[in-house]
Amino acid sequence: MKKIIPALIAIVLIIVIGAVTFGGKIIDKYSYSKERADLNAYFEMGGAGDVAVILGNELIEERARLIDGAYYMDLASVHKYFNDRFYVDSAEGLLLYTMPTETERVTIGGSIREKESGSEDLGYVIARYEGETLYLALDYVKQYANFAYTAFTEPDRLQVDVSWEEYQIAEINKDTAVRLKGGVKSEILADVAEGDKVMVLEQMETWSKVKTKQSVTGYVENKRLSGMRSELPIPVTDYTEPEYTSVTRDYKINLGWHVVAGTAGNDTIYEVTDKTKNLNVISPTWFKLCDNEGGFTSFATESYVKTAHDMGMEVWALVENIEYKDSIDMFAILSSTTTRKVLIDGLIAEVQAYGIDGINVDFEQISMDCGEHYVQFIRELSVPCRELGIVLSVDNYVPTGYTDHYDRKEQGVFADYVIIMGYDEHYAGSTVAGSVASIDFVEEGIERTVAEVPAEKVINAVPFYTRIWETGPDGVSSQAVGMDMAEEYVANHNIAVEWNEATCQNYGEYTKGDTLYQVWLEDEESIRVKLNIMQKYGIGGVASWRLGFEKAAIWDEIENYLNQ
């Protein structure tokens, strides 16, 4: 017996120790961890002045800066998330923002906003550089964009809201912790008390992803959530979207460009309009950029405007950059706030002096790095045009990825009409022969443009010319001719033409020696199909390049289009 008792005691001790060990493991497995997460790591903090940004419910990679008690974000982030109309003239040290009635300016590094109505000291640096990065104060940006932000500390972070959609909310029914992951062993991100509200982002079987009122996102047990319901956020009430009004007409525009090479050329208005019908806008090529200081030549005359008005036409004078393209630098002209002002003031002075009804901007071959400056020019020019009731129209290539920097969407806000130059599908420099304006090319241009610009602001320009192509041993060449001359060419060379469904044009060709001659005719049939497509998209009218190159029958087709 004495030998059995120690053995029993040993067995009991083994059982007890095993039970204690097993129970400890069970307790350890199901007990709540008290380990806390490092919030600096969680918010990816980068040192003094660094501020994390929670946009909606997402911690974004872009950061804010806390400088002298004010919050800033870099210009690229401001453009991306809030408003891309802030424009920087780095050479003159200016930040500009164009409103419907004026362009406001800020000297970078200063606290004063300059407006035509007067200057205002905002009490903080509005825009400042850190290294080569320009930062804008969010309190300033808020005046021009519909968003709200709330700041939190330890660590520094901003909750930024740009939309006001319904969300799910719940109340915490017992003090608990918001954890990094769903599980009692996960690290604690934040403590929440009974009665606290949390936004419920995602519900799972036993845990839910939530965001606290301090914008910490993590997980709590479903059993700690009560009163689940939908709520609407309170939207920003101190911001009103400005209205960029337009000087548009309540009828279809029928515009013809009148090529004027000198003041004497104005007298040809009678000749080029002799066979037209219902032409309600004429655009003489009057203004030609001629230097890098905002200067231009002008062929404008008061008598021309009076003649056009007497004929029932408005005058939208064209300003172009092609005549002296080899001696001017468009980047130099458009990237300078001072030079843009000289050019705009000069154009408006001409408009007022001669009673001109509109300005037609035809700036071609704008480089990508000049795009933002070109768009700012259009914004700034729109201000006096809007004030004076002057129509502002802008000519554009058919949209392609290579011309996105022309920013047709922004043009559609600031300009009254966005004109598609619906031709030059194949042009003088093309390496292969082809149509000037096939129907697919035209429709794609209209379709892409109305996706960015209100249809009633879109005008499609049709070609009154045809290219005669020669393809031979020395390559490809062409010459542009008017419609009558093209038909004479076809007749003189006994070319049999037939309708080509792919281009919706009459096509003909012949071979002489080792040279192939081809022509895709623009005539009343091809123009009719183009006009039908324009009617399909409900756009604001038709333009034509150029007056004097057309057949008389074309105007019957355009008249039918205008009356639809």
Q: Does the CA dihedral 283-381-384-345 come out positive or negative?
A: negative
**CATH superfamily for domain 164-231:** SH3 Domains (2.30.30.40)
Complete edge-to-edge strand list for the sheet that includes strand 197-203: 188-192, 176-179, 217-221, 207-211, 197-203, 167-172, 225-231
Return the structure tokens found at 557. Answer: 């087709």
What's at 178, amino acid-wise?
A: V
Residue-by-residue DSSP string for 107-142: ETT--EEEETTEEEE-SS-SEEEETTEEEEEHHHHG
Provide the pairing of β-strand 287-289 with 167-172.
unpaired
Whole-number Å distance between alpha carbons of 70 and 13: 67
Query: What CA–CA distances, in Å, run from 92 to 89, 103, 541?
Result: 6, 15, 40
What does the domain layout of the chain look like in residue ranges? 41-159, 164-231, 253-464+522-562
- DSSP symbols for 21-83: HHHHHHHHHHSPP--B--HHHHTT--STTEEEEEETTEE-S--EEEETTEEEEEHHHHHHHT-
Record the pTM: 0.93
> CA torsion 174→178→179→180, rounded to 10°?
170
**CA dist 17 → 3, 11, 24, 132 (Å):** 22, 10, 10, 68
Tokens of 381: 């020019």
Q: Three-class SS string for 83-108?
A: CCCCEEECCCCEEEEECCCCEEEEEC
Q: Taking the CB of residue 35, how many other CB atoms lie within 10 A of it? A: 10
pLDDT at 425: 98
Nearest Cα to Cα of residue 464 among 349, 537, 542 = 542
Tell me whether the omega of the peptide bond preceding residue 155 falls within 30 degrees of 0, making it cis. Answer: yes
Q: What one-character DSSP code corresponds to residue 171?
A: E
Give the total residue count for the chain.
564
What token pair was written down for 293?
């200081």
Instruction: Find, among 83, 72, 150, the residue nearest to 108 by Cα.
Output: 72
3-class SS of residue 303: helix
Please report the pLDDT score of residue 117 as a whole number: 86
Q: Which residue ranges in the chain fall short of pLDDT 50?
A: 20, 23-24
Which residue do the tokens 């001669």 mark?
354
Helix pair 524-537, 439-450: axis angle to 10 deg: 20
Whole-angstrom Cα Rg for the chain: 34
CATH class of 253-464+522-562: alpha beta
DSSP per residue over 368-392, as a string?
GGGHHHHHHHHHHHHHHHHHHT-EE
Nearest of 143, 167, 138, 142 to residue 56 by alpha carbon: 167
pLDDT value of residue 548 = 98
CA 530 to chain centre: 27
pLDDT of residue 237: 86
> What Å distances lie between residue 46 and 43, 152, 194, 216, CA to CA?
9, 16, 33, 18
Look at residue 2 in the predicted model and tell me its pLDDT: 61
Task: Give tens-digit pLDDT for 82-107.
Answer: 999 999 999 999 999 999 999 999 99
CA–CA dist 491, 470 (Å, integer) = 17
What pLDDT is recorded for position 29?
59
Cα dist from 288 to 4, 338, 352, 355, 551, whole Å: 118, 19, 18, 19, 29
Spatial CB neighbours of 190, under 8 Å, sequence gap ≥ 6: 177, 178, 212, 214, 216, 218
CA dihedral (242, 243, 247, 253) positive or negative: positive
Q: Do domains 164-231 and 253-464+522-562 have the same CATH topology?
A: no
